[in-house]
Amino acid sequence: MKTTELRQKDVAGLKAEVKELQKAHFGLRMQKATQQLNNTSTLRSTRRSIARAKTILAETIVKQGAK
Residue 3 neighbours by CB under 8 Å, 6+ apart: 52, 56
- Its pTM stands at 0.91
List the pLDDT tens digit at each of the 67 positions of the chain: 789 999 999 999 999 999 999 999 999 999 999 999 999 999 999 999 999 999 999 999 999 887 6
Amino acid at 61: I
Residue 60 neighbours by CB under 8 Å, 6+ apart: 7, 10, 11, 14
